[in-house]
Structure 1
Amino acid sequence: MGKSYIYKNRKKLRWGYTTGTCAAAASLAAAVVLLRRESVEQVQIETPKGILLDLEIEDMKAERDWVSCAVRKDGGDDPDVTNGFLVYSRVSRENPFKDKWETRKSGCYEYKNGTLHLFLSGGMGIGRVTKEGLSCEVGKYAINPVPRQMIFSQVEKVCRQEGFQGSLWIEISVPEGVEAASRTFNGKLGIEGGISILGTSGMVEPMSETALLETIRLELRQKALEGQSQVILTPGNYGQQFIKKAMGLELEQAVKCSNFIGATIDMAVEEGVKGLLLIGHGGKLIKVAAGVMNTHSSVADGRMEVLAAYAGAWGCKKELVRRLLSSVTVEDALRQMDAVEGLLEGVMRQVTEAVDRHLKGRAGGRIAIETVIFTNERGILGMSCGAAGMLKKLRCEKPYAGMGRISPVGNRF
């Protein structure tokens, strides 16, 4: 099969394929060489999405009882930290473990069908799961369910074709995965020592939101499983810095939700979180005052329109409303409001109330939710009425540094 493309925002983007697809293809090649004793330069594999891929085999090594093959990861036009990495599979007749007890303790996976018994483990660069809430059990190698099924299926197919009965041991490794893991969310999610072998469709969709949303969901799930009833949400790095330096809270209590405010609320409900405190920069959260639940600039803006509308409702002159509408940044608009006594406080009070109203509307009574709006230059611009109480609960759960007095909606310090 040739390259596959998708059009997004009028751009032609190339699909890639996952580490799971690479591992399955490398396992297929290694099994063919081991059982048929013939060289393989390319294999064809059908992904769960139904797309056929012809993948080149690299760095093949063969001995009497084992074969190792590699496939190079291609992320298409949405490359991640694993793009270009070689994903290896070593298929062996030799049992690397002393006995059944050591096999179980190793964290490997097993597949048995009749007289065929396959074992799957991770080698260099494959992480181990250390926290609950992931799709792999604690102590197991981070090889997700769909890639596991793909690997077992490809090796079983060759075994059936060649009439092989007995046991084979499959080891997946990504030598560059140890270093690459430090540039992923893995450590925070509870995967230590390497990367995960991922994929549900076998393909990497360019500019896909799915992977990011799944990461957010996993973090929420783990917070709930660890007994954290209240979770801090921050859209980005500004929020993370602010909660630590200005509010004395712990980053371990926070989940970074990016632009997906509404989707994160929904997922928090589904994962059993009891309360959310959204702490975000005004440049993001002012959009929520207009009911915008995905704050990415490609989806919606409306920040200046919100500020201008509330300034007009407060009673400021038309000329200032026009200047607010033409402001380039939120800070520029706030500076213009400083010129009228009481305007900024009055507008931010109404904005915060609107944000609070829309957040609670999305939550629909299913979860407690409060908000804090800030800017780097001015600190807190607004807090919903229940935010101080939720902050108190969060501080009871974790040690914190002292901070100044916090007042409800619209006040600054």
Structure 2
Amino acid sequence: MSEETQQASPISASAGPGGEELVWHRGKSYRKGYTTGSCATAAAKVAALMIARQQLIYQVSIVTPSGVTLNLNVEEPSIQGNEAVAAIRKDGGDDVDATHDMLIFARVSLLEECTDIEITGGEGVGVVTKKGVGLPIGWAAINKTPRHTIEQEVRGVIGPNQGAKVVIFAPEGEERATRTYNARLGIEGGISIIGTTGIVTPMSEESWKRSLAIELEQKRAFGMEEIIFVPGNHGERFVTDELHLSGDLVVNMSNFVGYMLQEANRLQFKRVIMVGHLGKLVKVAAGVFHTHSHVADARMETLVTHLALLGAPNDLLKAVFACPTTEAAMELIHEQGFDGVYNEIAKAIVEKVEHMLRYATHKMTCDVVLFSYDNIVLGASRPVSEIVGEVTDKSVPKGDLA
């Protein structure tokens, strides 16, 4: 999960026995943490303080954008004249991600020739190579909120008439970044310095959703007008191996079907193709737009309803309803010759999507392709050959997404 930090509605906050802030999710407590942006801000502040005081400092406090005060231990401090280096160890709390427990460093050097504060990235901090992540190509992957808090804290130490260069670096960053989405987003060579609130809230669905939407925004920034949504890696492989379409068209929507459709509509994509296993997408035919099992499970009810509308016998309906999985139900449905139900379910999914977006001023078309675990097309909202054949070359700008 990403370290972006907005609290999801089922989570409540309290204090632990040691005074640390906790959140409660389904009866279990989780410890909060802090973002790479908070680490970089604190490291830059303490480095500036060491220059100002000409002494080593081993603890520093900052106030995060969300108003939480952090008192953080400083590691590997050093100072030489008008330059100092310090590190803060990232703590993701109980929401451990790829950057947990790594050191985020800041090197601050005073500048005599100007009063600006220059913020850049060094070793282990990624570089932006593609549009769509909110930063210019060629810039270090230090997002806007951390850039602002770093400048604010350093300015508070050095005063209004002094300039400084701040280099954020993370020696482990390049290796850690291989466990993130960075390369896919066009951030090369290291991690991102991110966080809008400064605090990591465990189990935050909002953070996960936002990380998925960033890739969608990037593809739209390249001028793409069509997109293929899949629930996971199986869907992506099916798109490339069975439908023979470019993986550059694919965006993972996970369980957040409604959210990602709304984001696609907001970004004014002209067309969305949803490709997924029946067991996941059949829920959307019942109007369930968050498909995790803890939200709702209407798989068998939906299958039975559409089979009944096709005139399936009562014995088949009862047998399907008793099946533990949709794969098991498929065998029964095939045996009695009701495979046509999958096309009806795909059409029903399209109808539910259209109903959800009925008040949107932008009109986005939708198609659906359903498949089984053995990669067989079960059904589609229209003939699959038509759906695939209408994918346009301009949807994947040549060279830009390679």
TM norm structure 1: 0.86
TM-aligned CA distance change 1:47 to 1:379, over 3 Å: same
Equivalent position to 1:82, from 99, 122, 127? 99
The structure whose RCO (Cα within 8 Å, separation 6+) is larger is 2
The CA distance in 1 between the partners of 2:168 and 2:21, in whole Å, is 26
Residues 1:145 and 2:144 are matched in the alignment? yes
Aligned to 2:376: 379
| 2:330 alignment counterpart | 334
2:391 equivalent to 1:394: yes
CA–CA separation in structure 2 for the residues paired with 1:350 and 1:273: 25
Which one-letter code corresponds to 2:370 in the other structure? I
Distance 1:374 1:363 in 2: 25
- 1:9-408 → structure 2 map (5 Å cutoff): 9-93=26-110, 116-160=115-159, 165-340=161-336, 342-343=337-338, 345-364=339-358, 366-377=363-374, 379-385=376-382, 388-394=385-391, 396-397=393-394
Distance 1:233 1:144 in 2: 26
Structure with bigger gyration radius: 1
CA distance in 1, matches of 2:384, 2:37: 43
SS of the residue corresponding to residue 7 of structure 1 reads strand
Measured in 2, the distance between the counterparts of 1:396 and 1:170 equals 43
Cα separation, partners in 2 of 1:386 and 1:132, compared to 1, 3 Å? farther
The amino acid across from 1:359 in the alignment is: V
2:123–2:170 CA contact under 8 A, matched in 1: yes
For residues 184-234 of structure 1, the C-alpha deviation after alignment (integer angstroms, 9 at most, x for no partner) is 111111111111100100011111122322222222222222222111111
- Aligned-partner Cα distance in 1 for 2:292–2:364: 24
Any idea what the Cα deviations from partners look like across 1:148-172, whole Å, max 9, x if unmatched? Answer: 1111111111123xxx742211110
Q: CA deviation at 1:398?
A: 7.3
- The residue type equivalent to 1:327 in the other structure is C
Please give the secondary structure, in 2, of the residue aligned with 1:198. Answer: coil
Report the TM-score when normalising by structure 2.
Answer: 0.88
Which residue identity does 2:310 align to in structure 1?
Answer: W
Aligned partners of 2:383 and 2:21: how far apart in 1? 50
Deviation at 1:249, TM superposition (A): 0.7
Change (3 A) 1:296 1:261: same
Q: How many angstroms apart in 2 are the aligned matches of 1:147 and 1:398? A: 33
Contact 1:75 1:83 in 2 (8 A): yes
Q: Which residue of 1 aligns with 2:4?
A: none
Opposite residue 187 of structure 1, the aligned amino acid is: A
Asked whether the 8 Å contact 1:56–1:71 carries over to 2, the reply is yes
- In the alignment of these two chains, the number of paired residues is 376
Query: What's 1:107 paired with?
Result: none
**Shift in Å, 1:375:** 1.0
Assess, with a 3 A threshold, how the Cα gap between structure 1 residues 177 and 352 changes in structure 2: closer, same or farther: same
Opposite residue 280 of structure 1, the aligned amino acid is G
What CA deviation, in whole Å up to 9, does each residue of 1:76-98 have, x standing for no partner? 11111000010001111268xxx
- Letter paired with 1:5: L
**Deviation, structure 1 residue 317:** 3.7
Task: Judge conservation of contact 2:242–2:375 (CA < 8 Å) in 1.
Answer: no
The Cα shift of 1:395 comes to 5.4
Percent identity between the two aligned chains:
36
